[in-house]
Amino acid sequence: MAEESSSAAAEIGQQKYYGHKLKEMSRRAFEDLENFWSEIAENLVWFKKWDKVLEWDPPFARWFVGGVLNASYNALDANIKKGLKNKVAYFWEGEEGKTRTLTYYQLWKEVNKFANVLKKLGVKKGDRISIYLPMIPELPIAMLAAARIGALHSVVFSGFSAEALANRINDAEAKILITADGLYRRGKVIPLKKNADEALKLTKSVEKVIVVKRVGLEDTPMTEGRDYWWDDLMKDAEPYCPPEPMEATDPLFILYTSGTTGKPKGVVHSTGGYLVWVWATLKWAFDLKPDDIWWCTADIGWITGHSYIVYGPLLHGVTQIMYDGAPDYPAPDRWWEIVEKYGVTALYTAPTAIRMHMKFGEQWAKKHDLSTLRILGTVGEPINPEAWKWYYEIIGNDRCPIIDTWWQTETGGFMISPAAGIDLVPLKPGSATFPLPGIAVDVVNEDGEPVKPYERGYLVVLAPWPGMLMTLWRDPERYKEVYWSKFQPNSKLKFPIQPPAVYYTGDYAMKDEEGYLWLMGRADDVIKVAGHRIGTAEVESAFVSHPAVAEAAVIGKPDPVKGETIVAFIILKSGYSPSEELRKELRTWIRKVIGPVATPEAIFFVSSLPKTRSGKIMRRLLKAIVSGKQLGDITTLEDASSIEEAKRAVESLRKSMGEGKS
């Protein structure tokens, strides 16, 4: 079966293998940059055309300089003018069974009214608005309303804790917080507003709080003069709000993401470049058609939802599914039921979700008619060939190409991906294939020089692209340091010309002899848990903020479903001794400090950690121990007994849990 499918997979590409068009477009993107991007940008509505496509002052790029536009106008008004007024923008479905349908016109009305609500509360162009909502229509409405008046949204995933929310509000100095009374997760109600209130105790900038009634919780705490119900404010809101003319180089939003230090980075995206990029990439990769039903299963709290549930698909005027709930609630076929119910044609999800469905078994998908699907996509982590094949055979019924899109919060949109909308190359399960037009990448060694085929190296980007982050919020130095300082330009890097600056992705990759790119996971201390990006340093600093913890080392352990899970090695302060209670307490602590997304799978108590002589924790060794791999080079290790101890700790937990389980 597996063999059959891989030859079938190769065939899909072979039948259509032209490759030339993609190469030709890629060549033009660099050789004729001004015209190439101008033609693409013409697909958006500009209040004023740009004077210059790109000003590149490495590492700061300004795209479509002088151009003026508005994101919400492009996502809504422009579609209504094109005749899509009554087309469905979102079919929304809640976990509990509630449904809502919003046409482009209805969405436009809500966004206009809410933009006026924000204005009335004193929000001005350039102000920041934090949004902490579950996957309900009010989330895109709030984002688009902010964009309409030129305020920056900073969406914080609803699975983050009060403290994590507070840190993000404080860094952005948000004036307004938009949240909900609660949310549903696997049938349970989680009181979100209570979390938000905890966060507000730690912040000073928020003046007003707007609360959506999602579940109708009776005892939702509301602070007089500060907190308002969404519906009350919307009742008297004016129906039309003129879109604020924004410079292409004005920021559209901030989105916090994890890096290698404890402090999340505020990635800032531009208005013009970002919108052009999400428009182009969605067209190139998925070849969206007017009658497609697009379903991206991500949460809008992450970049995938920003780019491919909000901006990209709305710019294209397509109809989408938005689902607020767990994939397996009330039963493991919930997703497949939705695909059948709405006739989804394009499904975009994460490898971790595919592996979870694999585990439930194909009978759940087989219960439903999935024949409307024509194209499938994945994002967030490397997809293993087994999951790729299962997705291809069971969900796609051997008919649908799999668009494995590699990209990052920082890149704004897809970077390396098969391009069904240009020229579909033969697919190889597990490879994201080639860069999209305008993207120049290479794989380099520690010295920044290209490696040979099949050698693992670091993935770097060699030229600016429209969707690239502008900077980190109020921290241009950190922007330079994190992304542009690891590798220096050198004469061995010359595609398309020797680049003046080299962008470090933080990912390992490899090329095969045909130049296909294989992404191989993070090369830094960032881990991907069920596709969610978490910094080990963030979790470590959360651990050491607990009174019992002296030192912590956190690593990602390979997991067959989640990709990676969080494992921690903890040294307790004197006066504390290891116990099951303390382990439980620390788990709860992490959920409180960061949020349920960062719940550790295992916590090991040790008395020392493997360190280099200069005192750096050798996480690589701990990782090898928990995954049962060879330790590799240990010459820099200071104290070998720490390794034995870590091994014993892992072994004893394994025994107590039963070998099979972990």
CA distance 256 to 165: 10
Asked if residues 382 and 430 have their Cβ atoms less than 8 Å apart, the reply is yes
Residue 220 vs 505, nearer CB to ligand WTA? 505
- From the CB of 114, what's the least distance to ligand WTA, in Å? 27
CA distance 625 to 632: 11
| Beta-carbon contacts of residue 352 (< 8 Å; ≥ 6 apart) | 380, 381, 530, 531, 561, 562, 563
Residue 64 vs 458, nearer CB to ligand WTA? 458
Residue 149 vs 554, nearer CB to ligand WTA? 554
- From the CB of 286, what's the least distance to ligand WTA, in Å? 14
Residue 165 vs 285, nearer CB to ligand WTA? 285
- From the CB of 533, what's the least distance to ligand WTA, in Å? 4
CA distance 447 to 449: 6
Question: Is the backbone peptide bond immediately before 600 cis, with ω within 30 degrees of 0?
Answer: no
- From the CB of 383, what's the least distance to ligand WTA, in Å? 7
Coil, helix or strand at residue 268 = strand
- From the CB of 626, what's the least distance to ligand WTA, in Å? 20
- From the CB of 23, what's the least distance to ligand WTA, in Å? 21
Contact footprint for ligand WTA (CB under 6 A):
257, 302-304, 379-382, 404-409, 432, 505-507, 519, 522, 528, 533
Q: b or e along 494-527 (b: 16 or more beta carbons within 10 Å of the residue's beta carbon)?
A: eeeeebebbbbbbbbbbbeeeebbbbbbbbbbbb
In the numeric block, the tokens 């030339």 are attached to 20
- From the CB of 379, what's the least distance to ligand WTA, in Å? 5
Question: What's phi and psi for 638, nearest 5 deg?
Answer: -85, -45
Residue 94 vs 264, nearer CB to ligand WTA? 264
Coil, helix or strand at residue 286 = helix
Residue 281 vs 405, nearer CB to ligand WTA? 405
- From the CB of 294, what's the least distance to ligand WTA, in Å? 16
Phi-psi region of 54 (alpha: psi -120 to 50; beta: other; left: phi over 0): beta
The strands making up 88-94's β-sheet, listed across from edge to edge, are: 99-103, 88-94, 319-324, 293-296, 346-349, 375-378, 402-404
Coil, helix or strand at residue 557 = strand
Residue 67 vs 467, nearer CB to ligand WTA? 467
CA distance 261 to 500: 27
Residues facing residue 179 across a β-bridge: 132, 211
- From the CB of 655, what's the least distance to ligand WTA, in Å? 33
Residue 156 vs 206, nearer CB to ligand WTA? 156
Beta strands in 462-548 (DSSP E): 471-472, 503-511, 517-522, 526-529, 532-535
CA distances, 190 to each of 2, 72, 160, 186, 331 (Å):
42, 31, 12, 10, 20
Residue 182 vs 467, nearer CB to ligand WTA? 467
The count of C-alpha atoms lying within 13 angstroms of the C-alpha of 40, restricted to the half-sphere facing its C-beta, is: 28
Question: Is the backbone peptide bond immediately before 59 cis, with ω within 30 degrees of 0?
Answer: yes
Coil, helix or strand at residue 73 = helix
- From the CB of 256, what's the least distance to ligand WTA, in Å? 11
- From the CB of 303, what's the least distance to ligand WTA, in Å? 5
Residue 67 vs 429, nearer CB to ligand WTA? 429
Coil, helix or strand at residue 42 = coil
